Amino acid sequence: MFIQKENDFQPLKNLLPYDGCVEYYGKVFDEQAASLFFEKLLSNIDWKQDKAIIFGKTIYTQRKVAWYAERPFSYTYSRTTKHALPWTAELLEIKTVVEQLTGERFNSCLLNLYHSGNEGMAWHSDGETELKKGGAIASVSFGAVRKFCFKHKQSKEKVDVILEHGSLLVMKENTQTHWLHRLPPAKKIETARINLTFRIMTENGQ
C-alpha cells in the first residue's frame, strides 16, 4: 500500500535553514493507493464549507474542511469552533502509515479540499492553543500537485516545496513559532487536491 524508501530509516534533510524543522518524505503511497484514498476521502468525508469571522462578518470559503479525532475535541481558529467527528476507516489506515514512518503519535486530523488551483490558503502559522506546543504536524497530499511555501516571520526568507500525489511532509519543533506557510493559488491547475494534517491536540497545548 505504501512505498518503502531507503531514507525511511535515515535522517531526512531539513528544508528550513534555521528556526524550525520541515521534512519532506516525498511519495509514501504508491499511485494506486493514493488514487484510491483520494476517491474514498472525496466521497466519505463529511465536507463543509470553512468559515471565519473577520471584522465581525462571517466569511465562507470555497475550500471545504473536515475535522476528525479519537475523541470529541473542539478546535478553534479564525474565531470559529469545530467539533471533531470520529475516525473513518480510511483515516485510520492513513494515520497508521504516517505514524509508522514518522515515529509520532497523532490524535486528530484537519482535512482540506481544494477543488482546483483557484483555491489556496493565505500566509499563516498553526498556533492554536489546543495544539501541543512544538508538536509535529504531518501533512499528507492526495490529488493535484501543488506548491507549498514557507516564509520566516522576521527575515522573510522563503522556502518552497512541491507536494506530490501521495506524499508526506512533516513540520515540527519551532516551525510554527518562527515560520509562516501557505498554499498559493495556481490558476492553471483544474483538478482537486485533498490535504490531511495529522495533529497532536491537548487540553491546554502542553
pLDDT tens figures, 47-93: 998 766 555 666 666 789 999 998 776 666 555 667 789 999 999 99
**95 lies in some domain:** yes
**116 lies in some domain:** yes
- As for how many domains the chain has, the answer is 1
Residue 72: give its domain's CATH number: 2.60.120.590
CB 123 within 8 A of CB 196: no
**6 lies in some domain:** no
Q: Is the pTM of this model over 0.85?
A: yes
**53 lies in some domain:** no
Q: For residue 6, what pLDDT is reported?
A: 45
**94 lies in some domain:** yes
Residues near 121 by Cβ (< 8 Å), separated by ≥ 6?
63, 112, 182, 183
The residue range of the domain holding 131 is 13-47+63-199
**1 lies in some domain:** no
**206 lies in some domain:** no
The residue-averaged pLDDT of 102-114 equals 96
**139 lies in some domain:** yes
